[in-house]
Each structure stands twice: as C-alpha cells, then as structure tokens.
Amino acid sequence: MGRRAGLPESWCSCLIVVAAVWAATNVNVAPAGASVLPTIGVNYGMQASHPLNPDIVVKMFKDNGIKKVKLFDADSWTVGAFAGTGIEVMVGIPNNQLEGLAKDYSRAEDWVKENVTKQMYKGGVDIKYVAVGNEAFLTSYKGKFDKLTLPAMQNVKKALDKAGFGGKIKVTTPLNADVYESKNNKPSEGDFREDIKGIMKPLLKFLRDNKSPFVVNVYPFLSLYQIKGFPTDYAFFDSNHGKSIQDNNINYKNVFDANVDTLVWALKKNGASDLKITIGEVGWPTDGDFFANPTLARRFYSGLLKKLASNEGTPLRPGPMVVYLFGMVDEDMKSIDPGKFERHWGIFRYDGKPKFPMDLSGNGNEKMLVGAKGVQYLPKQWCALKEDAPIAGNTADAQGYACLMGDCTSLVYGGSCNNLDQRDNVSYAFNMYFQMADQDVAACNFNGLGEIVKTNLSQGNCLFPIYIDSAADQRLPFGFGAAILAALVLPILMLS
Ligand SMILES: *[C@@H]1O[C@H](CO)[C@@H](O)[C@H](O)[C@H]1NC(C)=O
Ligand SMILES: *[C@@H]1O[C@H](CO)[C@@H](O)[C@H](O)[C@H]1NC(C)=O
Ligand SMILES: *[C@@H]1O[C@H](CO)[C@@H](O)[C@H](O)[C@H]1NC(C)=O
C-alpha cells in the first residue's frame, strides 16, 4: 500500500479514537483507573537520593489502575510492597550479578529462593517475569556480558523450574534497540549487530523454547537527541504530513513503528518470527535537554497511548502490544553519561506529583494522573548564595563541586532552569546539593558562601525543590555524610 492508500487507513484509526472518546465521556462514573489499558506497565527504578517509600509508589500504581510493573532488581522491600495488589511484576537482575549466576548454578538457586519463592506465598506477589540483566549487549559494555547473559538465564530458568515456578514465571532479558540495525533505515534491511549475531541465535532459541517474550527498549527521544538533523515530527505519532520512510509497500510515519519492525525483520532472518515482542522501556524525559520538556513528553505519550488503545500495533505486528513506560518517578542519582535528561524520565516528579496530563486509557482525555499521597517533605528552607558574596573564582569552584555531587541537570541549555541569572544559578546548585544532603547545615556552608533561607527561590518553570523525608535514603551506597563533605570541600579551599 502506497502513500495514497495509507490515508484512508489513518482516517480509520481517527474514527476509532473519536468513538472511544465519546464512549469514555459517557462512562465517567467508572472507578478511577478502570479503563486503563491492560497492556500498559510502568518501569519503577529507585536510583534516587530520596526515593519515595515503596508503599506510597504501589498506592500510585493502584490509584492509577496500572496493572504491570517492571523492576530493575529484586529488592525485597520494593517487591514485597506489591503483595496482594494483583499487579503483575517483572523482577530484575542487575548486570553485575550475571557472572555469578552464569558460573555458579547454586547462586541461581539461592537467588530464586530468596527473591522469588519468599514472595510467591498465597496472597503474595504476582511475579510473572524475571529480567536477567539489563541492556547487557550495549556496545558501551564492550562485550563484557555477551557470554554471561544466556548462561545466567539458563541457570535462573533451571532454578525456577526446580522451585516449581517453571510454567508460571518466564525468564527473559531486556535489550536495547541497539542490538539490531539497518544500514539505510529501512526496516526490511534490519538484522542483529554483526558482533552479537553469534550470541543472539541461541538466545532466540531459548526464548522460543520457553515461550518468553523478546523484550526491547525503544527510544524515539534518543533518535532525536543523537542524530543531527533527525526530523522532529518523525519521533512522534501525529506527523501525518512530516517525514516518512517507504519500505517495500509500507509507509512508516513514525520512528517507533520503523524501529520495532526492524526487529521483526531481524527476528525473521534469524528463524524467530514467532517470538512475541514486549516493549520494555519507552518514554520521554521532561528536563535536561532542549528536546526534553513536559510539552513534548505530553505530545509523545498522548500519541503513544492513543496508538496503544487502537491496538493497531505496527505494520508488521498488528494487534495489542505490551508496553512498559519509562518510568514512574525521576531518579536523581542516575548516571548522566547518556545525557543530562537521564534523571528526568519520570511521568511523576521526584516527590510523586504528576508532571503533565496523561490518560492511560488512551482516550486522550485531559486529566492528571493521581499523585503520591502522604509524602512528608523536609522543612521549608533552601540554600542560597549569600547576598553579599561576590561572584568570583571560588564561587565557581563551589558551584562546580555542588553540581558534581548534586544535580544541576536542569541548568543546561533547554533545561527548566536555564534562564536564571548568574547568582540564582549558583544558588540553584547550592540548593540541590543541600536538599540531596538531607538539608544538613554543613551542606550549605560552601566555605562561607552559602546561607539557609526561608524564601522560595523558584521562578517560572524553574523549581528550587524541597526534598522529601525519605525513609529509604539511608540505604544508598552513596552518602552525603559530613566526613565525605569535609574531605571534598578541601580541594575547593586549595583551589581558591
Ligand atoms: C536477591 O535480590 C537482591 C536485590 O536485587 C540481591 O541484592 C540479592 O543478592 C539477591 N539474593 C540472592 C541470594 O542472590
Ligand atoms: C549556570 O550553571 C551551568 C552549570 O554549571 C552553566 O553551564 C551555565 O553556563 C551557568 N549560567 C550562568 C548564566 O551563569
Ligand atoms: C515554591 O514556588 C513554586 C512556584 O514558583 C511552587 O511550585 C512550590 O510549591 C513552592 N515551594 C514550596 C515549598 O512552597
């Protein structure tokens, strides 16, 4: 079907959406979350200096009717919080555990005993998947996990079988879309990366033998961020007049479809056409880059959710599609190596407040998600650059230090706090550091340049946050203890 024939089809899906909206406005007495798409899950990571209490987050899942969650580890507090909720859980195994699990079967048995069996009592947690490793074949890992991933999966599978969960819990491994490529961007030219083809074949066989899904993370945002001249509209789902890619008789109007269908071709070429595809991560960040803001995030999600509600799937894989959004809340301790936006993927802020309207039924209604309840904040105080402190070399050093240890990702070009003047800019850095350090008085010293203030320094869209009182922050390996602080302030003194 060519461009012309493509038109009536898109009219068709519009009509379905219109009908769905009409239906929704007529059933607004339904309980909250009742119409949420059953195929939608959300990733829930905890790389935050002040993570919300898991019980609060689980309540957010329930209040919003989200029925699936994907986790990055098997932390018992977090997993346990999903007990009795009926929410389907994918637990994760971080890459740093792959080697142990691959080389020592008894470790896999221990892992299953502690992290699955203990949670699977009657009325307990509904664990449906174990994600062994996370994006383990990223090129940036330089092959480190290539030979460990499948053996680890096999051992975990064997241990699950032995524990009696063989039929119920599927083993898979979420991969980044960089495992496949297409030389000319046409899906039909797609295949797995040459360097991992040898390991992909047995992995695909494992997934097929066990009826496990192929889990892939697809990021239209990254196409826009990484590829110079990438047509903006092609990253979204509403670009009926923008860029498209013609492949055989299919016209691709968005990079998401083209990306997933590239995988479909790669699977086909490697004898695994029948594998189910699950989208392990997809989303749009709201800060830390020119293209990362609530307006574009809202546009992306609105298009994605309508698409999912229509069950149109992709041209080569029509039908319902299981999709885990990335992610639940912002995580201020994530590495910013991939980009400064990395800490702003949440559909909720760090404190569980929704960022923009989002309708998880895909009906396109203008409504906010239900935010976190019962969040306790630290006292209403901020750290700022002293009014009489001059802007000088030592100010820059102090800010540099605050940014290195804290979080200045909102100060970048295109970020929500990019318009601050120089003094407020320094105060922003000081405050982030101070808040992340639990408002420790010593964390607002900065060699006498900082002071604690009671005035809200937020301006426009730029939020100077007050952090939350988090019961979990003690558990982070990275502490802002006074000793660490003193040690790191020293270099600043020496520089000035
Ligand atoms: C269970 O999972 C946690 C969290 O991922 C991990 O730290 C721990 O080592 C696991 N237990 C075993 C026995 O492997
Ligand atoms: C504000 O701070 C950021 C991060 O340190 C820096 O890139 C930017 O140039 C600063 N802007 C001003 C106006 O000082
Ligand atoms: C500070 O002001 C911003 C708006 O400018 C507001 O959103 C925020 O809630 C305020 N913070 C506190 C702690 O009152």
| For ligand 3, atom 12: residue with the closest CA | 456
Question: What percentage of the chain has pLDDT greater than the value 70?
Answer: 88
Ligand 2 atom nearest to 408, measured from its CA: 4
The residue whose CA is least distant from atom 11 of ligand 3 is 456
Question: Residues near 198 by Cβ (< 8 Å), separated by ≥ 6?
Answer: none
- With 80 as the cut, is the pLDDT of residue 102 above it? yes
Q: Model confidence at 1, in pLDDT bands (50, 70, 90)?
A: very low
Q: Residue 34's pLDDT is what?
A: 53
281 in catalytic set: yes
Is a pLDDT exceeding 90 seen at residue 7? Answer: no
**Mean pLDDT, to the nearest integer, of 430-443?**
97
pLDDT per position as a tens digit, 53-70: 999 999 999 999 999 999
Rounded-to-integer distance, Cα 375 and Cα 356, Å: 19
The fold of 3-66+174-343 is: TIM Barrel (3.20.20)
Which is more confidently placed, 315 or 241? 315
Indicate the top mutation candidate among 104, 115, 127, 132 to test ligand 1's pocket, ranked by most ligand atoms within 8 A of CB. Answer: 115
pLDDT at 150 over 70: yes
Average pLDDT across the chain, whole number: 89
pLDDT recorded at residue 432: 98
Q: How far is the CA of 111 from the centre of ligand 1 (A)?
A: 6
427, burial (CB in 10 Å: exposed 0-12, middle 13-18, buried 19+): buried
| Residue 243: per-residue pLDDT | 81
Instruction: Decide if 366 is catalytic.
Output: no
Give backbone dihedrals phi and psi of 325, rounded to 5 degrees, phi first: -70, 150
Mean pLDDT score, 194-207 = 97
Range list of β-strands (E), 138-193: 170-172, 175-176, 180-181, 191-192
Q: Is 292 in the pocket of ligand 2 (CB under 6 A)?
A: no
| Spacing, Cα 300 to ligand 2 middle (Å) | 29
Centre of ligand 1 from the C-alpha of residue 50, in Å = 22
Query: Does position 114 have pLDDT exceeding 60, yes or no?
Result: yes
> How large is the average pLDDT for residues 148-159?
98
Average pLDDT over residues 363-371: 95
DSSP string, 55-89: HHHHHHHHHTT--EEEESS--HHHHHTTTTS--EE
pTM of the complete model beyond 0.85: yes
Cβ atoms < 10 Å from Cβ of 268: 16
Q: Is the pLDDT of residue 16 over 60?
A: no
- At residue 420 the predicted structure's pLDDT band, cuts being 50, 70 and 90, is very high
372 close to 60: Cβ distance less than 8 angstroms: yes
Of 109, 281, 331, 451, which residue is the catalytic one? 281
Domain residue ranges in the chain: 3-66+174-343, 382-495
Q: Is the CB–ligand 3 distance for residue 461 below 6 Å?
A: no
Which carries the bigger pLDDT value, residue 466 or residue 30?
466
Q: Nearest-CA neighbor of 217 among 136, 150, 152, 295?
A: 136
Return all residues near 491 (Cβ < 8 A) that are at least 6 apart.
401
Residue from 9, 88, 99, 135 carrying the catalytic annotation: 135
Q: What is the secondary structure of 283-297 as a DSSP string?
A: ----SSBTTBSHHHH
- Average pLDDT over every residue of 170-177: 98
Question: pLDDT of 207-250, one tens digit each?
Answer: 999 999 999 999 999 999 999 999 999 999 997 777 899 999 99
Does the Cβ of 422 fall within 6 Å of ligand 2? yes
Confidence of residue 495 (pLDDT cuts 50, 70, 90): very low
